[in-house]
Amino acid sequence: NAMLRIRSKENVEGKPLWIYKVGPESVDSFGNSHYDYAIASSCIKSPVAVLVRNPDTFKDKYEEEVRRWLKVEGFLDVFGGEKYFPLDPIVSFSTCQ
């Protein structure tokens, strides 16, 4: 298990997020290995962040599996009260400046 600490202006100490699951390991064109996705959340399993390397690949190959896993493992969507976190919309950072 690994932990990330997310800091913001509102919370300079940071909030811990645990990495609960990682997707398959892949190798990029430079020979570097990486995970296709990682599921991060707090110790109470809410909120959930699914960090994906490639949104299109994730949607095609892993989204359904990740949705099932989140539901089985009891992760919560604080906004909708569901037992899984809705992954839509998947955000693409290609337009970030």
For the stretch 32-70, pLDDT in tens is: 999 999 998 888 887 788 888 888 889 899 988 998 898
Q: How many domains does the chain have?
A: 1
Rounded distance, CA 72 to CA 58, Å? 19
Rounded distance, CA 55 to CA 43, Å? 26
34: containing domain = 2-95
pLDDT mean across residues, the chain = 79
| Percentage of the chain lying above the pLDDT 90 cut | 24
Task: Output the CA–CA distances (angstroms, integers) from residue 27 to 43, 51, 58, 60, 80, in the order listed.
Answer: 30, 17, 15, 18, 36
pLDDT of 29 reads: 87
Is pTM, for the whole model, over 0.85? no
Is there a contact between 55 and 91 (Cβ–Cβ < 8 Å)?
yes
- pLDDT: is 37 or 78 the higher one? 37
pLDDT of 86 reads: 47
